[in-house]
Structure 1
Amino acid sequence: MSDIWFFMGKALEYAYLSLEANPCDIPVGCIIVSGNKIIAYGNNTRESADRITGHAELNALDAAAALSGSRYLRGCKMFVTLEPCPMCAGALRAAQIDELYFGAYNLREGAAGTVYNLLYPHVKVFGGIKKSDCESLLKKYFISLRS
């Protein structure tokens, strides 16, 4: 369990760095782990890069695929600070990620069981890891937009 907390902490750290670098983007951090090693990072770039597909999960999947030389990431785990949307859940399945760990539940469009259940039985899903820390970052971001 300590590895899970460590890796989710790294995804959260990346989300904070993302917020500092691109305050216009929703701060979502994502890492992909193979074995016990982080092989790719991703953050949300929808606004800063003006890309519909600029979600943290898709950016991390692209980076991992480029590094591994394959679009299939069997045996890998994804850690992301917000439950994936349907688009990202589809990409996770296509990449054949084995396990997903997420922090905050996505009450609007969560596709890992909260609103939709697009990953079962293909991907093992574990939600609510460092949930309060992930929610706190998202709340901080949305409060800053209103001020």
Structure 2
Amino acid sequence: MSRDEEFMRVALMLAREAKEAGEVPVGAVVVYNGEIIASAKNRREGNRCATAHAELLAIEQACAVRGGWRLFGCELYVTLEPCVMCAGAAINARLDRVIFGTPDLRFGALGSLVDINSLGLNHKLRITGGVLEEECRAILQEFFRERR
């Protein structure tokens, strides 16, 4: 198992926890020097807050752990391609890299629908997509199938 797969498996575990709580199943972890320093799952329903996406919650935790808003040297692993809000937060936090599982054709902001990374902003993310893509897609499909 690759390093990316190892950390994505942790994010998938968090996505499963989100699903069990009735949340859209997305999980995220922030890694620094090969160690997970923050982890979160979607909490929009539970927190009754539109910004309680797994990525934002994990970035907020990582900032607290690192003692500042600049997350140089950190990587964000997330089961679903980040939306514009979350991709913007990743850029603003100066994350080195974002690794996502499955593309989000409806809201994805790192290449699927839009590519925020190509806008010439003052920081550019390294992006890796498709890590454990099938597993990440399957949990989302199952969640939405159960809702219909």
Q: TM-score, normalised by structure 2?
A: 0.94
SS of 2:116's equivalent in the other structure is coil
What is residue 144 of structure 1 aligned with on the other side?
146
1:77 matches 2:75: yes
Deviations 1:81-118 (A, max 9, x none): 00000001110000000011001110001100111111
Distance 1:6 1:40 in 2: 15
Matched, 1:9 2:9: yes
Query: What is the CA–CA distance in structure 2 between the aligned matches of 1:100 and 1:91, rounded to whole Å?
Result: 11
Which residue identity lines up with residue 29 of structure 1 in the other structure?
G
Which consecutive residues of structure 2, in runs of 5 or more, have no partner in the other structure?
none
SS of structure 2 residue aligned to 1:81: strand
1:18 is displaced (CA, Å) by: 2.1
User: 1-side partners of 2:126 and 2:28: how far apart?
Assistant: 17
CA distance in 2, matches of 1:2, 1:31: 16
* 1:110 counterpart residue number: 108
4+ long deviations beyond 6 Å = none
Count of residue correspondences: 144
Question: 1:129 is paired with a residue of what secondary structure?
Answer: coil
Identity of aligned residues (%): 39
TM-score (ref. length: structure 1): 0.94
Q: How far apart are the structure 2 equivalents of 1:2 and 1:52? A: 33
List gaps (5 residues or longer) in structure 1.
none
Measure, in 2, the Cα distance between the counterparts of 1:113 and 1:74: 22
